[in-house]
Amino acid sequence: MQIDGLNFRQFQLLEELWSVDDSEELCDWFENLPTLDKKTVISLMEVIRQEMLETKVEEDLKQANLAIQRAKTLDI
């Protein structure tokens, strides 16, 4: 996954976020962030979620198109 256009602080927070091993560690890390960083992390997590959804939709669309093409070759 690649997220373009991040400033240095956003990049740092994203690196820290990726290094977290489990949900408990994530909660501890997040709770200790300053308020502005918390807001930034929430925004970054939303971007990640959107990217993951977009990737999933693209994969599903490819699979659907393959199934349609196969069905057409079988004259279904």
Q: SS3 for 76? A: coil
Helix/strand/coil for 22? coil
- Domain ranges for the chain: 8-73
What is the rounded CA–CA span in Å between residue 16 and residue 20? 7
Which conformational region is residue 7 in: left (phi greater than 0), alpha (psi within -120 to 50 degrees), or beta? beta
Q: What is the three-class DSSP state of 52?
A: helix
CA distance 12 to 53: 23
What was the pLDDT predicted at 76?
59
> pLDDT (tens digit, 0 to 9) for every residue of the chain, 76 residues total?
788 899 999 999 999 999 999 999 999 999 999 999 999 999 999 999 998 888 888 888 888 888 888 888 887 5
